[in-house]
Amino acid sequence: MKLWGGRFTGEQNELMKQFNDSFKFDRRLYAVDIQGSQAYASALHAVGLLSAQELASLRSGLHIIKDEFDTGKFERNFGDEDIHTAVERRLTELIGDAAGKLHTGRSRNDQVALDMRLYCMNEISKTVSLLETLQHSLIAQAEANLSFMMPGFTHLQPAQPILFSHWMMSFFWMFERDRARLNDALKRTAVSPLGAGALAGSPFGIDREKIAAELGMAAIFMNSMDAVSDRDFVAEFLFTLSMIAVHISHLAEDIVLFSNPAFKYLQIGEAFSTGSSLMPQKRNPDAMELARGKTGRVISSLFNVLIVLKGLPSTYNKDLQEDKQALFDSVDTTEMVLSIIAGVINSIEVFPENMLAQLTEEMLATDIADYLVEHGVPFREAHQKVGEVIKFAEEKDISLSEIPVSALNHISSKFDADVHKIFDFMRAISKKDSVGGTAPQAVKKQIEMAKEKLGM
């Protein structure tokens, strides 16, 4: 028996049944679907549309169904086209006619909008806590390796010396913004559409505010057509997941690079590495490659949903059913990736001597220019002079610190004997003591602020 069978006489085409079937993927909404129905049943009772007895039997029926799903005992019937019809069909089997009252003034249009919102609320919270776990791992590694020096890169070319902990913490802040984005998205997601009906609203005077409060939603929709139409909250969540995936891909790429034997600044734990079936020496950073690779599907899901939404006519259209697999896939993928990456970060072993070995005096060229600036030379001119110093060292095939002061004085009279103090990497790092800089004191302060963000 179909929910909407009244006006039909013939059978539905078999292929059409499969085409229309969303139960195979939207069954994962069962808990939120039932949660929404429990709240709606109370609201119907409050306006006298359900007797106390009917409410009690609806409540217990819904409870049984939830239990059946939880324990894997729910049996689908091939007439069930989606989770909503499946629950209602089963409810009718369990409690009889009272089940038919649950849909008073409610449509699957406001129901599915509610389910998706409740689902997103849960998953947003889960993602927030996974991000926090990862952020804790980043802080722990930054603290454990606070003062190790390494080359910092721009254009992937050696640029200036930095602290390893500074590099690690840079990701903390990316994930911190992602976390803020999620918490912000939550406000727009926790808005109840119940009472919108199919599109026009409810004639039964149900207390929409009360339902929302019962469902932990902070607000209700101000327009019933908007309530059933939009999936902007899905797109917003997907954007944030995409941004997380992009940040992770960036972290993954750095780790792939830094664990390459040519760098070997660090090594990820064996638990997260794999070998090669052919080359016995290999220790591959598969975890990071997969994390980087999965960014593609997360971003595609965002596009998938935006494209589904584009150009739809007002209110509910079945196209909207296509929001689910994209969302579920991105949620599953991101949750898995976040858990893996936190594990990888915890497993990292750092090799400070290798990082140190790759620091070169050329990375202090800017510090030489800064020295001239401190001696009154305008920066542009200082930059030019240091260029000449580097050319001189290259021509003579000596290192920068080997150039005698007398030779430096041919380039600028401002060079003094104390110029050699520049060739000290920790000095260069320590001088970058502006807020957010790489100086050990600044990084310590940064870590303190980060801990505060996590309420540590």
Active site residues: 155, 276
Q: Binding to ligand ARG by residue 429, rule CB under 6 A?
A: no
From residue 23 to residue 62, what is the string marking binding to ligand ARG with x (rule CB under 6 A)?
A: ---x------------------------------------
Binding ligand ARG (rule: CB under 6 A), the pick from 40, 237, 316, 415 is 316
Strands (E) in 264-386, as ranges, are 266-267, 349-350
Specify the stretch interacting with ligand ARG by CB under 6 A; choose among 70-78, 104-112, 147-155, 432-440. Answer: 104-112
Q: CB 32 → ligand ARG: shortest distance, Å?
A: 13
Pick 82 or 123: Cβ nearer ligand ARG? 82
Q: Binding to ligand ARG by residue 432, rule CB under 6 A?
A: no
Instruction: Look up tokens 């893996």; give the residue.
Output: 340
Token duo for residue 209: 């505010």
Q: Binding to ligand ARG by residue 82, rule CB under 6 A?
A: yes
Q: CB 321 → ligand ARG: shortest distance, Å?
A: 4
Give dist(CA 357, CA 265) in Å, integer.
10
Integer angstrom CA distances of residue 266 from 145, 146, 299, 344:
11, 14, 29, 11
Pick 22 or 135: Cβ nearer ligand ARG? 22
Angle, helix 232-258 to helix 295-309, in steps of 10 degrees: 160
DSSP 413-427: TT--GGGGGG--HHH
Binding ligand ARG (rule: CB under 6 A), the pick from 170, 321, 334, 346 is 321
Q: Are strands 191-192 and 219-220 parallel, antiparallel or unpaired?
A: parallel
Binding ligand ARG (rule: CB under 6 A), the pick from 114, 288, 320, 364 is 320
Q: CB 449 → ligand ARG: shortest distance, Å?
A: 43
Q: Binding to ligand ARG by residue 228, rule CB under 6 A?
A: no
Residue whose C-alpha is closest to residue 79's, from 8, 140, 134, 129: 8
Q: CB 123 → ligand ARG: shortest distance, Å?
A: 17
Pick 108 or 136: Cβ nearer ligand ARG? 108
Binding ligand ARG (rule: CB under 6 A), the pick from 109, 137, 189, 242 is 109
Give dist(CA 339, CA 131) in Å, integer.
9
Give dist(CA 267, CA 141) in Å, integer.
13
Give dist(CA 381, CA 70) in Å, integer.
72
Give dist(CA 115, CA 430) in Å, integer.
53
Give dist(CA 49, CA 205) in Å, integer.
10
Which amino acid type is present at position 193? P
Pick 256 or 327: Cβ nearer ligand ARG? 327
Token duo for residue 120: 């997103």
Specify the stretch interacting with ligand ARG by CB under 6 A; choose among 35-43, 314-322, 326-334, 341-349. Answer: 314-322
Specify the stretch interacting with ligand ARG by CB under 6 A; choose among 125-133, 173-181, 182-190, 316-324. Answer: 316-324
Q: Binding to ligand ARG by residue 108, rule CB under 6 A?
A: yes
Q: CB 36 → ligand ARG: shortest distance, Å?
A: 13
Q: Is the dihedral of CA 174, 177, 183, 188 positive or negative?
A: negative
Q: Binding to ligand ARG by residue 258, rule CB under 6 A?
A: no
Instruction: Look up tokens 């909207």; give the residue.
Output: 320
Instruction: Look up tokens 């599109």; give the residue.
Output: 199
What 3-state class would DSSP assign to 158?
strand
Specify the stretch interacting with ligand ARG by CB under 6 A; choose among 71-79, 168-176, 267-275, 313-321. Answer: 313-321
DSSP-derived secondary structure letter, 330: H
Q: Binding to ligand ARG by residue 112, rule CB under 6 A?
A: yes
Q: CB 324 → ligand ARG: shortest distance, Å?
A: 6
- Binding stretches for ligand ARG (CB under 6 A): 22, 26, 82, 84, 108-109, 112, 316, 318, 320-321
